[in-house]
Amino acid sequence: MSAAAVAAEIRGAVTTGWGAPPADLGGIAAAHRPPSRDMVKRLYANFDLYWTAGFLYFACGDVRAGREDWTRARRLLAGLATTCAGRLELWNCAAASAVLRKAASAINDAETASEGLDVVDAVVLYLNRLQSWVDASIPWSALDAVAPLDIRGLDA
């Protein structure tokens, strides 16, 4: 499948994902990875999505600005996508893992930087969409009440 076709497919997944919670949220809820409980799974999945999208975005910026060569950058970008796919599999995010694995292959196979960056742009948008759903499921303000920062005894 061409890089353009993969990017279009990923963009289609982004478009369909705004109206209803994505299936991967159910996957996170069903994941059983001791000692994780519900909140831990959501926090880890949230940060895996957040950091991966950020790393991909900034690496592409270096290619676009001419600070990095596409031939070298695509190995890094494909590797990041593959690594994140593995991380998300820990949290039962099957759809996101499949998208990232397909994207990694398309990035590796892209003949030009433009083709590869188009795939990465679509993946960043996809990850941000999923991360916004996961992030919205975390009761951030309640976390402060449950676990306030207490540094007494840490500076021994």
At residue 36, the pLDDT reads 63
At residue 50, the pLDDT reads 96
At residue 154, the pLDDT reads 72
At residue 156, the pLDDT reads 56
**DSSP H helices in 18-156:** 23-30, 38-64, 70-90, 94-109, 113-136, 140-146
CB 64 within 8 A of CB 121: no
Q: Rounded CA gap, 78 and 104, in Å? A: 4
Q: Rounded CA gap, 27 and 134, in Å? A: 11
At residue 34, the pLDDT reads 66
Return the structure tokens found at 83: 């690594």
Write out residues in the chain with pLDDT < 70, as ranges. Answer: 17-18, 33-36, 155-156
